[in-house]
Structure 1
Amino acid sequence: MAVVYATLIIKGAYTFDRVPANQQPKVREYLAALELDTDGKPLEV
């Protein structure tokens, strides 16, 4: 389910703060693996 939330965030259809608390760490992990922040935007280097 975390992959679905991450995909929705990337597409702009969902926000990280709407993700259930128990899913947030895994969603953050997926986004970080794609070098994205919790808004689905590229990480600043």
Structure 2
Amino acid sequence: MMAMFFAQRVILNKTKFVEVPVTLQPGVKDILDESGLGFLAE
């Protein structure tokens, strides 16, 4: 749930991937990859 929240914030450019809590980064990266937006996690 929180990973999806942060993924949306990264997609909307409200939060940078490096600002996502470390424990949630793998889940957020998976969501971004599945959405074809994995480059946002670099």
Q: TM-score, normalised by structure 1?
A: 0.80
- Local SS of the residue matching 1:39: helix
Tell me the matched-pair count: 40
Unaligned runs of 5+ in 1: 41-45
Q: Report the structure, 1 or 2, having the larger helix content.
A: 2
| Offset at residue 37 of structure 1 (A) | 2.1
Unaligned runs of 5+ in 2: none
Number of the residue aligned with 2:28: 27
Moved over 4 A (4+): none
RMSD: 1.4
Number of the residue aligned with 2:6: 5
Percent identity reads 30
